[in-house]
Amino acid sequence: MLDSYLHPRLKPVLNRLAGMLDKPYVTPDGLTLCGFLTGVLTLPFLALGWYAPALAAIVVNRLLDGLDGALARRRGLTDAGGFLDIVCDFLFYALVPFGFVLAAPAENALAGGWLLFAFIGTGSSFLAFAALAVKHNLDNPGYAHKSFYYLGGLTEGTETILLFVLCCIFPAYFPWFAWIFGALCWLTTTTRIWNGYLTLRSLMLT
């Protein structure tokens, strides 16, 4: 919901930082992998109850995720880079709830499972439509900077990162956050399925 509002405002800052990083030895894919490996540290940090380092790893991961795209746009977007980026993003989004489950299995396991279940819905609806959008050459002016069709919704990347930040700051409330956000994710999944189906069906009727 907030991505289309936030991205244009962050883009100039990211472009300036990407210009500073635009060196022969720095590549977009390298930034993607560095960001992902930093994000992976979130899992052991959360499992150990080190919430401040986990929050720092999340912030660095998201910063590098923004910079890899900005650098890629300077040099030219590639399908390989877009593929690597989205795979790393979805793995990162899944490992954070799992980290909270490991931190307190008795308290967090059921809510964490619900959140991961909801992430499967948002992720599968997102990627399924993106694959078919390419087939039909659908334009996505709201997210023209993306390597693939970005189907929006109530819970997008910005909202998910806000969730992770809140969970790190108030870890005792993770179950509440997870149940509520999971429900919002299913609203997003429902609207994506409905809108995606109608869009693709209309293409077959024209």
* CATH number of the CATH domain containing 200: 1.20.120.1760
- The model's pLDDT over 140-197, given as tens digits with 9 standing for 90+, comes to 655 544 555 556 677 888 899 999 999 999 999 999 999 999 999 999 999 989 988 8
Dist CA 196 CA 142 (whole Å): 16
Show the domain range for 192.
Answer: 3-205
Question: In total, how many domains does the chain have?
Answer: 1
Query: What is the maximum span of the chain, computed from C-alpha positions, in angstroms?
Result: 56
- CA dist 90 and 78 (Å) reads 19
Say whether pLDDT at 4 is over 70.
no
For the CA atoms of 10, 12, 17, 20, the dihedral, rounded to the nearest 10 degrees, stands at 170
Cβ proximity of 125 and 196 under 8 Å: yes
Q: What is the pTM of this model?
A: 0.87
Q: How much is the pLDDT for 150? A: 57
Convert the pLDDT of each residue in 14-32 to its tens digit.
Answer: 778 878 887 888 899 999 9
